[in-house]
Structure 1
Amino acid sequence: MNIGMLLDMAADGFGDRIVIGHKDEGLSARRLRELAVGGAHLARASEADAILYLAVNGPALPVALFAAARAAVPLVPVNYRLGEEQLDALLANHPRALGIADAEHAGALRRAGLPVRTPAEWLAQAAENAGLAADDEPAQPDAPAALIYTSGTTSAPKGVVLRHRNLVSYVLGTVEFAAADPEEAALVSVPPYHIAAVSNVLTNLYAGRRALTLEQFTPDGWLGLVRRERITNAMVVPTMLARIMDTDGLDRSVPTLRTLAYGGARMPVRVIEAALGAWPHVDFVNAYGLTETSSTITVLGPEEHRRALASDDPVVRARLGSAGLPVPGIELEVRDPFGEVVAPGETGQIWVRGEQVSGEYAGGGPVVDERGFFHTRDQGHVDADGYLHIEGRADDTIIRGAENIAPAEIEDVLLGHPDVLDAVVVGVPDEEWGQRIEAVVVLREGVTVDADALRAQVRGTLRGSRTPERIECWPELPRTPTGKLVRRDVVEALTAEGREAVGRQG
């Protein structure tokens, strides 16, 4: 089975129902299939081996996803916030792709020698071909459905291969077909290159729920859209919910909202407590997952949220900060560094197995062990009842507002300054972002460098979200005898009591 069959089921089961966009001008399930047929003709006519999407979220994304499935090529949603050098290197991997880009990012495709269609042009051309016969050969279950780039511990993004069977398994294991009421509407507030954007296209469609996207988040804008569009289901990252709860003077009324899912980073307990108090009628769902696992692998459900909030038992109460229990079809183990499963309550590294788990990167085979388990590189523990508690990354990746950031790419920019001899970049705990970026540099003897100038250098090379909020100068960095940085010592020093608080900087 491939993801195109999910669209066929929707078009045949509730074809006239609006499933994408605003209720009065959105796409029905049947029209979405017609546009996917037209888009597949475009892909085949251009002999494309992928459909590359470099634009903000919107109706063009689901059309591209299903057109790619019908053309038996993968969708490649690309992070438009990458620096020019990184973006050019990534696009060089796809010289035969059919490119979709908005005006702001079209230049990157032109530099790569790819033809450019804006999202509006893509939809218009797909519509022109929508009436042609659907002569496509269905993609096989093992064919790649999407290639999503995610940064790990190095500066080079890795392409995660998600095959049709992975995504279909996730949908069938977590969603009931046509379960949504005709009036239900979902608001998705993640960029198109995030796994949640792809998975939410599939799950909302399969459930029969109309889906809208929000390009630019502001607390007031999000709340206003929820009220205007009578949103019943929404998904946010913790930073967004924190801003909604922390901003003074907001009208936080959300009379139609039934369910709010969150994920992508650790949710501060104080924020979820405030949200549960502000919206007692809303069902909260904490979803933990990775790109490599086709999205969600554990869930903390609505009743578990309420039970934890009301409980005096510290074990139950602690579950409010947990990632919940594995979804159907997922096996989870917490292991020590030697590969042995640890006892409940003991910290270890998290490994998962299941049909939805890809664990595969472009250019190589699946990165799983001999039993088929994938190492998430997160660490944590399970309690006596199997609830998973995430304690952080097993590697050095910084997670800022649900975005994975590799310290090495920032360190390389800092080390490019002629007076910087050594540099380390770490993530330190932050209530709003989950982690904030801070750096320490070692300068040449006798020189001084303005920290703001170093920050400007990072911002000019990468972008704002990768710019350290604070840069300090030390005489030396803590290293082992073999030269390895002891990052935990840096974090401890930067977060020591009595240090001056960090002010927010751009």
Structure 2
Amino acid sequence: MNLTMLLDMAADGFGDRIIVGDREAGLTAERLRGLAIGAARTVLDRGADAIVHLEVNGPAFPVAMFAAAYAGVPLVPVNYRLGTDQLTLLLAGHPGAYRIGGDGGVEAGEFLRAADTATGEPPDPLDPAAPAVLIYTSGTTSAPKGVVLRHENLVSYVLGSVEFAAAGADEAALMSVPPYHIAAVSNVLTNLYAGRRLLTLHSFDPREWLRLVRDQRVTNAMVVPTMLARIMDDPDLDRAVPTLRALAYGGAKMPPRVIEKALSEWPHVDFVNAYGLTETSSTVAVLGPEDHREAFSSADPLVRARLNSAGTVLPTVELEIRDEEGVVVPAGVAGRIFIRGDQVAGEYAGVGSTVDARGFFDTRDAGRLDADGYLYVEGRIDDTIIRGAENIAPAEIEDVLLRHPHVADACVVGLPDEEWGQRLAAVVVPVPGGEVDPDEVRAYVRDRLRSSKTPDTITCWPDLPRTPTGKILRHSVVNGLTSTP
């Protein structure tokens, strides 16, 4: 199967149901198909070899995704926030693309109007092994790489995650991540297949998010942890969300105090923590609603700790934790996370497949499984700090810092040190209205870990540099600390 078959199933199964946008004036599934076919004809008439989407979220994005599929070319959603030099370099790699947005591209409205007036039959179905989407990674630790996701990868993820037409006609989902993130791609596909209307928020604002949830009767939503923190931390917000049934989060570490407050204030909401990567076509592990409720209410520290986990792996994928020699380690032992499954691409433009001989993809994430199969992600392998002869995962220290009552956000990095090779430096953000005493916080960490994992310095900043999807820009933190007189 390819992506066009998912849209065909939706249009044939519930074609008159509004599937994108406002509940009064949005696009039905049948209308989405018509626009996608029209846009595909426009793209083919131009002789384009890809569709570059350089716009904010909106109806043009799902139309472009399925238009690319019908045209047999990949969709390339590009970060419109990139600097001029980065953007120029990236776009130079797609000289033959049909471009939506940006200098030299068609405006989103013009793209939709052209799609509405194009004529012709839809192209023949393409090979499921053909590239469907090319997503450039965020590049928080290195230059962005183009991840190739083929139709078979994305369809496998959808079929393994969602039941066709499972959503009720009253259900609506709100997506707040930008279109160049894998979660945006997966949200379009899974909500369409389920029959759930999808709304988007161009730029996140907690008040606007809450207004949309109430006005559009949103039942399902997806946020990154920094978004939920902004909703929960503002004392002046009316956080009533009577129609909200489920809220998924992921993309970065969730501060314990934030998820605990959300569980307390919204007991009727089913929370889901989703862990996945662009290279795995989105989610590979889930901490489900009952896991959240059980962990939140439990007095058992081992069960309570599951709120910090990524949950258990999907039945459609396999996961291994391996040591530095590539040997699979037992439960409780930390190592490197490897994933295998049909949804796993592990492929980069200009590089090819990076899966190993057994079909496993190296996520470059550190983690461990507990005895019950819950996955704990401990950060990127590339972020590891080497102090003396000891490898230290910043995430372990950050988890402790985030439990301090006066700390809202935290990042730990390694800075050059003549004696130890690297020294530990922490940047913390105080909770609203709070103050942080660096010595007291250092003592707090030392009491819970050990002296070698206690930050040598703690610096307070008003906020941390993050990508729009919530990932900490660690190189910016290092630069900020080393450039300070």
What range describes the TM-score normalised by the shorter chain of this pair?
0.7 to 0.9
Q: Is 1:502 aligned to residue 461 of structure 2?
A: yes
The 8 Å contact of residues 2 and 165 in structure 1, kept in 2 or not, is answered as yes
What is the CA–CA distance in structure 1 between the aligned matches of 2:273 and 2:464, rounded to whole Å?
A: 30
Among candidates 278, 281, 284, match of residue 271 of structure 2: 284
Amino acid at match of 1:269: P
Among candidates 96, 107, 130, match of residue 118 of structure 1: 107
What is the CA–CA distance in structure 2 between the aligned matches of 1:317 and 1:433, rounded to whole Å?
A: 20
Amino acid at match of 1:232: T
- Gap change, CA 1:349 and 1:273, over 3 Å in 2: same
2:116 matched residue in structure 1: 127
What is the CA–CA distance in structure 1 between the aligned matches of 2:112 and 2:411, rounded to whole Å?
A: 39
Aligned residues: CA RMSD: 2.4
- Gap change, CA 1:505 and 1:351, over 3 Å in 2: closer
What is the CA–CA distance in structure 1 between the aligned matches of 2:414 and 2:314, rounded to whole Å?
A: 38
Give a deviation string over 1:21-51, Cα, whole Å, max 9, x none: 0011100000000001000001100111000
What is the CA–CA distance in structure 2 between the aligned matches of 1:120 and 1:372, rounded to whole Å?
A: 42
Give a deviation string over 1:51-102, Cα, whole Å, max 9, x none: 000010110000000000000000000011111111111001000000000x
2:239 matched residue in structure 1: 252
Amino acid at match of 1:227: R
1:411 matched residue in structure 2: none
Number of residue pairs matched by the alignment: 426
Give a deviation string over 1:453-497, Cα, whole Å, max 9, x none: xxxxxxxxxxxxxxxxxxxxxxxx3369xxxx9556456999737
What is the CA–CA distance in structure 1 between the aligned matches of 2:457 and 2:381, rounded to whole Å?
A: 28
**Please, what TM-score do these two structures have when normalized by structure 2?**
0.83
- Gap change, CA 1:437 and 1:308, over 3 Å in 2: closer
- Gap change, CA 1:500 and 1:51, over 3 Å in 2: closer
Among candidates 359, 365, 372, match of residue 352 of structure 2: 365
Secondary structure in 2 matching 1:395: helix
2:468 matched residue in structure 1: none
What is the CA–CA distance in structure 2 between the aligned matches of 1:359 and 1:215, rounded to whole Å?
A: 29
Amino acid at match of 1:128: T
2:60 matched residue in structure 1: 60
Give a deviation string over 1:386-442, Cα, whole Å, max 9, x none: 1101111111399xxxxxxxxxxxxxxxxxxxxxxxxxxx999485986559796xx
The 8 Å contact of residues 335 and 342 in structure 1, kept in 2 or not, is answered as yes
1:85 matched residue in structure 2: 85
Q: Cα offset for 1:329?
A: 1.0
The 8 Å contact of residues 147 and 159 in structure 1, kept in 2 or not, is answered as yes
The 8 Å contact of residues 184 and 210 in structure 1, kept in 2 or not, is answered as yes
2:481 matched residue in structure 1: none
What is the CA–CA distance in structure 1 between the aligned matches of 2:178 and 2:453, rounded to whole Å?
A: 31
Q: Gaps spanning 5+ residues in structure 1: where?
A: 111-115, 399-425, 441-476
Q: Gaps spanning 5+ residues in structure 2: where?
A: 386-393, 427-450, 466-485
The 8 Å contact of residues 478 and 490 in structure 1, kept in 2 or not, is answered as no
**Please, what TM-score do these two structures have when normalized by structure 1?**
0.80
Q: Is 1:478 aligned to residue 417 of structure 2?
A: yes
What is the CA–CA distance in structure 2 between the aligned matches of 1:337 and 1:434, rounded to whole Å?
A: 31
The 8 Å contact of residues 50 and 74 in structure 1, kept in 2 or not, is answered as yes
The 8 Å contact of residues 265 and 434 in structure 1, kept in 2 or not, is answered as no
Percent identity for Structure 1 against Structure 2? 62
Among candidates 115, 122, 126, match of residue 139 of structure 1: 126
Once the two structures are superposed, the pairs formed by residues 299-378 of structure 1 within 5 Å of their partners are: 299-378=286-365
